[in-house]
Amino acid sequence: MELKKRIFERAEHYFNYIVKIRRHLHQYPELSFQEFDTTHYIEECLTNEGFQFEKPIETGTTGLLRNDPGMSDTVALRADIDALPIEEKNEIEYASKNKGVMHACGHDAHTAALIGALMILRDLQTEFNGDVKFIFQPGEEKLPGGAKKMIDSGVLEKPVPSLIIGQHVYPDLPAGKLGYRPGPYMASSDEVYITIKGKGGHGGIPHQTDDTVFFASQMIQSLQQIVSRKAPPTIPTVLSFGKITGNGATNVIPEEVYMEGTFRTMDETWRAEAHALIRRIAENIVASGYDTQVDVSIIKGYPVLMNNEDMTRKCMEYSERLLGERNIETLDIRMTAEDFSYYTQKIPGVFYRLGVGNQSKGIESALHSSTFNIDEEALKTGMANLAWLTISYLNDHNAGDTS
């Protein structure tokens, strides 16, 4: 039987079991770095299927599917396992049982699909040479990011993978389709905190105060020049403030105004320059206030996610052979962020999207929304494609044949 057909046959064979895993995870979501029960359940599944693993960090799991230890090539497959602080509104039998916590970003599907892919690869070990490292990673949704913690623990060592692959659900694509983007794909993400302090007082006599609210409004407008006038026009850049707090009143100018925002871009050099500009502009704005002070804190978040150009194009070709050219799309860049970017700073990486939408079933809600869900038929595509990419890549590097 042709290898592609065998992969799909295995995906179909394991489908109901993988759906069961996904639904269990969906019912019992846990927040970043608190995924204790999630990790225990994943490890039970791995043990039941005969996979050996280790725990590099408390809620992280990794292991190696050995398939000719003498070969130099290893592919790493990563799935994130944490959930979000969102109250689920879906009326489904497997809705979240943990109040205020929900798998609204599809990490339950990522985890289930990776387990399914490992089972397929185990069954088809005679079809390829090389090892497969699997990574079930906590804390993607929260700084400093579980990827960084896993890397620091040595997850990309002994052996060092020559490629790492990450799969992420995408409701904008119908189930059965995949999306790729060679090169820069997702933005860096930094948190900006600004505190303005000055002399408060009566709103009716503002000339006797340092009007902190006025300075805050001026600061927001002036900082937008970083995007409109300072950013190179070829580099996507976003600066947004989502929180401003000043505990004054209609007739009280507060002594302190607090602002929170996010800065995102697609270039690391410009990112550093922009940080300096944010500080400089903020300091200049309050310079005219006699007693006014400003404190700017910028917490560096995830770096730009750089998909390896050659490997991503090669994986697109592999997926076209598996699913047909019409089911593979080229994605636009996104100004959202992903800690998979830390892996791509160390080794070649490919981060792609798995279509999970289905308008006819009413499955259209966006990621991070209280009604997000997936067409579970997409799990077949997800586990099949992960297995196919792994086999295709290893066989290409070891002069094999995936026809």
Which of 282, 299, 316 delimits the end of a domain? 299
Domains of the chain: total? 2
| 351 shares its domain with 294 | no
Contact 390, 165 (CB under 8 A): yes
Contact 128, 65 (CB under 8 A): no
Residue 288 has pLDDT above 90, yes or no: no
Q: The tokens of 145 are what?
A: 């990011």
| 113 shares its domain with 31 | yes
Cα 385–Cα 389–Cα 392 angle in degrees, nearest 5: 135
Residue 375 has pLDDT above 60, yes or no: yes
Residue 265 has pLDDT above 70, yes or no: yes
| pLDDT attached to residue 400 | 43
| 141 shares its domain with 211 | no
| 65 shares its domain with 132 | yes
| 225 shares its domain with 119 | no
**Can you tell me the distance from the alpha carbon of 81 to that of 25, in angstroms, rounded to the nearest whole number?**
9
pLDDT, mean of residues 339-360: 98
Confidence band for 403, pLDDT divided at 50, 70 and 90: very low
State the CATH number of the domain containing residue 357: 3.40.630.10
Peptide bond into 85 cis (omega under 30): no
Pairing of β 178-180 and β 349-357: antiparallel
| 51 shares its domain with 169 | yes
Which of 253, 281, 299 delimits the end of a domain? 299
* 145 is a domain residue: yes
Nearest 5°: phi and psi at 285? -60, -45
* 402 is a domain residue: no
Confidence band for 397, pLDDT divided at 50, 70 and 90: confident
Over residues 175-209, the pLDDT tens digits come to: 999 999 999 999 999 999 999 999 999 999 998 88
Helix axes 3-27, 107-123, angle to 10 degrees: 140
State the CATH number of the domain containing residue 249: 3.30.70.360
Residue 401 has pLDDT above 60, yes or no: no
pLDDT, mean of residues 297-304: 97
Q: What is the pTM of this model?
A: 0.94
Query: What range does the domain containing 76 cover?
Result: 3-186+303-397
Catalytic (active site) residue 376: yes
| 365 shares its domain with 386 | yes
| pLDDT attached to residue 140 | 98
* 258 is a domain residue: yes
| pLDDT attached to residue 398 | 75
Confidence band for 71, pLDDT divided at 50, 70 and 90: low
pLDDT, mean of residues 266-270: 96
* 37 is a domain residue: yes
| 35 shares its domain with 163 | yes
| pLDDT attached to residue 1 | 63
> Whats the size of the chain, residue-wise?
403
- The DSSP result for 192-207, as a single string, is EEEEEE---EETT-GG
Q: In this prediction, what percent of the chain has a pLDDT beyond 90? A: 93
Q: Tell me, what DSSP letter sits at residue 158?
A: S
| 293 shares its domain with 309 | no
* 178 is a domain residue: yes
Catalytic (active site) residue 302: yes
pLDDT, mean of residues 332-344: 97
Residue 148 has pLDDT above 90, yes or no: yes
pLDDT, mean of residues 384-398: 94
Among candidate residues 14, 28, 170, 302, the one labeled active-site is: 302
Residue 70 has pLDDT above 90, yes or no: no
| 15 shares its domain with 102 | yes
pLDDT, mean of residues 207-233: 93
| 295 shares its domain with 309 | no
For the chain, the average pLDDT equals 95
**Burial track 341-357 (b if 16+ CB lie within 10 A, e otherwise):** bbbbeebbbbbbbbbbb
Which of 299, 315, 348 delimits the end of a domain? 299
**Can you tell me the distance from the alpha carbon of 55 to that of 59, in angstroms, rounded to the nearest whole number?**
7
* 403 is a domain residue: no
| 75 shares its domain with 116 | yes
pLDDT, mean of residues 17-29: 98
| pLDDT attached to residue 67 | 87
Q: The tokens of 247 are what?
A: 């505990």
